[in-house]
Structure 1
Amino acid sequence: MNNFKRIFPFVIPYKKYAYMNIFFNILYAFFGTLSFVSLMPMMDVLFGQSKKNYTLPTYKGVWELKNYLSDSLSYYLTSITDAYGIGYTLSILVAGIITIFLLKNLSDYFAMFFITHLRNGILKDIRNAMYRKTLDLPLSFFSEKRKGDTISRISGDVNEVQNSFLSILELAVKEPLTIIFTIVTMFTISVKLTIFVFIFIPVSGYIISLIGKQLKRKSTKAQEEQGIFLSTIEETLGGLKVVKGYNAENYFNSVFQNSTNRFFTLSNSIGNRQNLASPMSEFMGIMVIAILLWYGGHMVLIEHTLKGAAFITYMGLAYNILTPAKSISKASYAIKRGNAAAERILEILDQENPITSKIDAIEKTSFNSEIEIQNINFKYEDENVLKHFSLTVKKGQTVALVGQSGSGKSTIANLLTRFYDVNEGNITIDGVAIKDLNLQSLRGLMGLVTQDSILFNDTIKANIALGKLDATDEEIIEALKIANAYEFVQELPTGIYTNIGDSGNKLSGGQKQRLSIARAVLKNPPIMILDEATSALDTESEKFVQVALENMMQNRTSIVIAHRLSTIQKADVIVVMKKGKIVEQGKHEELIALDGTYNKLVTMQSFE
């Protein structure tokens, strides 16, 4: 139950619904019990066993309450029957029974009405908290986790917890109260018979509890398996061209079917155990009822210590315990499943985020002099990607980082934006360590254009306006012109209001990249980071994008990570990297004259 206690704060905003649910559940349990008791005077009248009472009783204290209520009812029934006849008395009793059943069902409706608001509120808030946490967590978390598993937790596991909360409220209020009220009433009818029942109920309860022991473990496995096949779907849709291009449909189909087959087996096992709960609890209940019939019948027919109408009412009350008992056994299984789901949700919500703003973080809105990378070391896992790396970027400079794949170029971009934090050393902007800066203000100083054009299934305007949400159409168009993109955008059916599809799949690679550049232009940051912005493009697209990049970099500090060396000839400083270290540094002509690593890279790309 610890997992549920930790999720309990999500209930607090909706506590008024919880209180109202509890209130109406109390009424439901009360009227549910009363509905059976109300049949007793009816049967007494029908079978001619009702006691004649011509004296209004006096109240003598709580211990005599049963006799007082019984004698009062007898007095009023006798008075009504003598005045209006037996038919009128029956009409009054039937109207009373109908009223009690109406109140019972109205109470049930309102209890469910309020719990629906409670459940859906909890669902919304947990899902929002999960999504917010997903946005806050660093990139390193998702390099270790499958995206599909995270999606599974936000959708399936949250639903499971929501359903389990309903079960807990039933378990804690509605069903136990129904059982308590019923048992108290049973005691008032016959103490002896009720004690006899209590000998058998714990035995049946123990047998039912044995069924659910392995349920939590199997539920955890099933939810993990769901994450695996959702990941497979996500990866397949993301890489559909590769799947089809390599005729790998059968392979991926096999991977997916293996996962769904494992999920099928686990779900069947879980379902069978749950399905066994209801018939098993009912059978054990009927066993108790059968023993009651034998013992109670003995009290009515042989001992004559119990009236027939009272015994029939007692049997109805005993059967009234079965339904809540079945619900409790079902709810206890749902709680085990929900507990497994809560564990997976809390794993995300409890995840420590090492990359956050300090409490007294500095707000910085301008860039004045230089970025300084001071003797940093960094590793993603075990091996250092950057080793004692130092670099100074002056305001207004264009600094290009070049080198073979794996030399650590893109890591610099990840560290400057604090997608990751350095293990040793320091990075400063205008002499202030970036760890001391407010994270949002740090990223507000920077524009980022990556190798992969990351666009969203929305309009061109919405995609470009991410950096400035209140941008006007004129500002969007101006950014598109600087990014050399307005020419193709104005030819689209609805211009900047054209939806570009999932990941911008309605556009070419060059067009998508120019929209990414337009987004950075609109943001208008003082520092621009270009992470291999043209490496995925063909020669013609590269020319369009290169013009856009040159337009954007004017009067701006730029850090360009380049694979194609043709794009960085005009850089103020070219930094040549190899295995996480700087091996050469200077202008294009200087590095060519050195006839070293840079010259070899140029020669390899057949560039003069």
Structure 2
Amino acid sequence: MNYFKKILQFAIPYRRYGFLNIFFNILYALFSALSFAALIPMLDVLFKPEQKILVEPVYNGFANLKDYLQDYINYRVTEYSGDDDMKGLILVIGLVLILFLLKNAFNYFAMYFITFLRNGVLKDIRNKMYQKIVDLPISYFSEKRKGDVIARITSDVLEIQHSFLSVLELVVREPLTILFTILIMFGISAKLTIFVFVFIPIAGMIISRIGKSLKKQSDKVQKEQGEFLSIVEETLSGLRVIKAFNAESKFYNTFKKSTNRFFKFSNSLLNRQNLASPTGEFLGILVIGVLLWFGGKMVLVDKTLDPSSFIAYMGLAYNILTPAKAISKASYGVRKGNAAAERVLEVLESENPISDSKNAVEKTDLNKDILIDNVSFKYEDDYILKDFNLKVKKGHTVALVGQSGSGKSTIANLVTRFYDVNMGEILIDGINIKDISKKSLRDLMGLVTQDSILFNDTVKNNIGLGKENASHDEIIEAAKVANAHDFIVELSNGYDTNIGDSGNKLSGGQKQRLSIARAVLKNPPIMILDEATSALDTESERLVQDALEKMMRNRTSIVIAHRLSTIQNADSIVVLNKGIIVEQGTHEELMLSKKGYKKLVEMQSLNA
């Protein structure tokens, strides 16, 4: 119920639809009971034509209310029909039809308004989840499979709508239908109704025992769904490699094993769920059977109940079965929804360790320098950087070089605050970046990575991501600086060409130049280049390197380089080894020192 309460918080903006639903559900429940009670005078007209009431009955208190109402309706029917019994029959049939029509009309309006609440909650949960997903740090998703996150925002949220929110339809309507029906049943025969209630708790206990393991089974189903969605996502991302290594059968077998587990868990879950309906119906019919025996005895032997009242009573008793089954089914739904809500709330309630401090300042420019002061950092157990110090002056370009795993990209991740340092601090103009708002910090920086991150959209919109509401002329100017304009205008629709998923309609060099154009358009004072040319051929590298040099003019730049030929003009080159600075200086100074940097340059020259 704790999860249910948390999910219900999302219903608050739509509470007016909830109140309208409750209002029409009350009317539905009332008319649902009255429509069966109205059968009594109709049956009296059919079966007791000799017992017409010719004088208007007198109300003698609540204890005799049932007899008064029955006699009053009989009197009105008799008065209307006169000597023509068929007129009376038609009147009573009309009354019953109107009551059933109103009952169904109120049911429609109740369902109509709850639809807005259910779909509104579904929309808001998805929006909140997406907002949370983009807000959470990158480290959160390094521990989660993408497919599992996708499953939570799609199928798990849908399960909440089908299970938890379907309870909202029942929470007023079905209990009230049962309540009003029971009140009328008590009015017809208190003795018979008390007898029925001996059996209802027994039926409830049996149904409850069936559903105890539903949440556990449902949790397994939802986790497995996340598993095979992850396999699909990985397959689509790595399709070239899978085909190149003839690994289709390996991935198919992995997927097949997951769907087989899903098949097994789903069968177990659905079979338990399906057991609820026939069990509930059989127990209900069993109660009806006992009623027929006990009530029939009251009519035929004891003569304490008249036949028309007994037939209407049986209709009312059967009228309880449908809402009782719905409540039983809803309890199963809550157990299923519990598992889905737990997975959804796990994401929504995840705390972001990288958040703005209470007194975070807005920073709009770099005036002096970036200082990495005595920083230590680890992703898991082992420190990648330990007591690391580096100063980047305004307008200078600092290049970071070294073998893979030496901590170069980690520095970029820490400066952009994708991760927070474990010890030490990073300062911009003497202000700790933890005291600068994340938005303004990242507004200060442009990022070009080794893997060009592009989106399934037009060229214009991919470049325009760098600046909100950028004009077409500004986008063209940025593309020219990035040496991208010439190839863009040759595309089928120029700047309006869709570049496909991850930009797969473009070459590596073209994609990288679009990434640079995006950074140029942003026009930040600090530029971070993370191995921006390492994946390119010589021709593309020349064009991209030229674009990078144009972009870096008069900017403070941190360049992480794999190809050392691209950083020879840097103001300072920092050579890293296992998170420690082993050399630092200009290209000429490091070449003269004849240490690690010179060896790296010579090795690359030999391999060129």
Counterparts of 2:92 and 2:167 in 1: how far apart (Å)? Answer: 37
Following superposition, the deviation at residue 51 of structure 1 comes to 3.6
Q: How far 1:50 sits from its partner (Å)?
A: 6.7
1:106 maps to 2:105 = yes
How does 1:156-555 map onto structure 2 within 5 Å?
Answer: 156-555=155-554
Superposed CA offset, 1:526-561 (max 9, x none): 000000001111122111111111111111111000
Distance in 1, matches of 2:292 and 2:65, equals 28
4+ runs deviating over 6 angstroms:
none
Question: Which sits farther off after the overlay, 534-543 or 423-432?
Answer: 534-543
Say which SS state the counterpart of residue 372 (structure 1) adopts: strand
* Residues 546-587 of structure 1 deviation map (CA, whole Å, 9 limit, x = unaligned): 111111111111100001101100100000000001010000
Instruction: Kindly state the Cα deviation for residue 81 of structure 1 after the two structures are TM-superposed.
Output: 2.9
Tell me the residue number matched to 1:585.
Answer: 584
Q: Deviations over 1:102-133 (max 9, x none)?
A: 10110111111011111100000000000000
User: 1:19: which partner in 2?
Assistant: 19
SS of residue paired to 1:400? strand
Q: CA deviation at 1:316?
A: 0.8
Is the 1:398–1:557 contact (alpha carbons within 8 Å) kept by the matching residues of 2? yes
Q: Would the aligned equivalents of 2:33 and 2:181 in 1 still touch at CA under 8 Å?
A: yes
C-alpha distance after superposition, 1:238-272 (max 9, x if no partner): 01001001000000001111111101111111111
Report the Cα distance in structure 2 between the residues aligned to 1:369 and 1:79, rounded to whole angstroms: 100
Task: Note if contact 1:398-1:571 (Cα within 8 Å) is conserved in structure 2.
Answer: yes
Contact 2:111 2:169 in 1 (8 A): no
Give the unaligned 5+ runs of structure 1.
none
Paired residue secondary structure (2:56): coil
Letter in structure 2 aligned against 1:35: S
Q: Which amino acid aligns with 1:41?
A: P
How far, CA to CA, are the matches of 1:320 and 1:398 in structure 2? 80
Amino acid at match of 2:573: I
8 Å Cα contact 1:179-1:321 kept in structure 2: yes
Contact 2:227–2:258 (Cα < 8 Å) also in 1: yes
- State whether residues 51 and 74 of structure 1, in contact with CA within 8 Å, keep that contact through their aligned partners in structure 2: no
Q: Aligned equivalents of 1:153 and 1:50: distance in 2? A: 68
Q: 2:90 aligned with 1:91, yes or no?
A: yes
Aligned residue pairs, count: 607
Are the counterparts in 2 of residues 133 and 349 from structure 1 also a CA contact under 8 Å? yes
In 1: Cα distance, 2:285 partner to 2:118 partner: 33
The one-letter amino acid paired with 2:456 is N
Q: Deviations over 1:153-187 (max 9, x none)?
A: 00011011111233322342111111111111111
Aligned equivalents of 2:334, 2:520: Cα separation in 1: 52
Partners of 1:41 and 1:345 lie apart in 2 by 54
Q: Which residue type is aligned with residue 180 of structure 1? A: L
Distance (whole Å) between structure 2 residues aligned to residue 430 and residue 49 of structure 1: 100
Q: Given residue 165 of structure 2, which amino acid in structure 1 is its aligned partner?
A: L
SS of the equivalent of 1:537 reads coil
Q: Could you give the per-residue CA deviations for residues 351-386 of structure 1, whole angstroms, max 9, x where no partner exists? A: 010111122210011111100010000000000000
Deviation at 1:222, TM superposition (A): 0.7
Deviates more, 1:164-173 or 1:333-342: 164-173
1:46 maps to which residue? 46
How many angstroms apart in 2 are the aligned matches of 1:4 and 1:372? 49
In structure 2, how many angstroms separate the alpha carbons of the residues matched to 1:60 and 1:8?
A: 47
- Match of 2:163, SS state, is helix
Alignment of 1:2-81 (within 5 A): 2-48=2-48, 51-81=51-81
Aligned to 1:569: 568
CA contact (8 A) 2:217 2:265 kept: yes
* Runs of 5+ consecutive residues of structure 2 not aligned to the other structure: none
Q: Deviations over 1:305-333 (max 9, x none)?
A: 11111111111111111111111111111
- Residue type matched to 1:255 in 2? T
Q: Secondary structure at the match of 1:606?
A: helix
- The 8 Å contact of residues 373 and 389 in structure 2, kept in 1 or not, is answered as yes
Alpha-carbon distance in 1 for matches of 2:186, 2:486? 87
Query: How many Å separate the matches in 2 of 1:86 and 1:319?
Result: 29
How many Å separate the matches in 1 of 2:491 and 2:10?
46
CA distance in 1, matches of 2:307, 2:63: 24
Greater displacement, 144-153 / 54-63: 54-63
1:60 deviation in Å? 4.1
SS in 1 for 2:511: helix
Q: Matched residues in 1 for 2:579 and 2:243: separation? A: 37
Once the two structures are overlaid, the 10-residue window that deviates more, 571-580 or 304-313, is 304-313
For residues 49 and 606 of structure 1, the distance between their equivalents in structure 2, rounded to whole angstroms, comes to 114
Distance 2:318 2:65 in 1: 25
1:49: how far off? 5.1
Find the aligned partners of 2:23 and 2:81 in 1 and give their Cα distance. 37
Which residue type is aligned with residue 293 of structure 2?
A: W
Contact persistence 1:44–1:50 (CA under 8 A): no
1:529 maps to a residue whose letter is I
One-letter code aligned to 1:453: S
The DSSP-based 3-state class of the residue aligned with 2:154 is helix
- 1:361 touches 1:438 (CA, 8 Å); kept in 2? yes
Return the offset for 1:288: 0.8
Query: Equivalents in 2 of 1:157, 1:373: separation in Å?
Result: 43
Tell me, yes or no, if the aligned pair for 1:53 and 1:78 is still in contact at 8 Å.
Answer: yes
Q: Cα RMSD between the aligned structures?
A: 1.2
**Matching residue's letter, 1:187:** F
For 2:67 and 2:44, how far apart are their aligned partners in 1?
Answer: 16
AA paired with 2:530? D
> Structure 2 vs 1, CA of residues 216 and 77 (structure 1 numbering), >3 Å: closer, same or farther?
same
**In structure 1, distance between residues paired with 2:28 and 2:602:** 85
One-letter amino acid matched to 1:343: E
Rounded to whole Å, the distance in 1 between the matches of 2:121 and 2:163 is 11
- State the 1:54 CA deviation: 3.1
Counterpart CA distance in 2 for 1:166 and 1:235 is: 33
* Cα distance, 1:64 vs structure 2: 3.6
**How far, CA to CA, are the matches of 2:169 and 2:399 in structure 1?**
65
* Matches of 2:134 and 2:40, distance apart in 1: 63
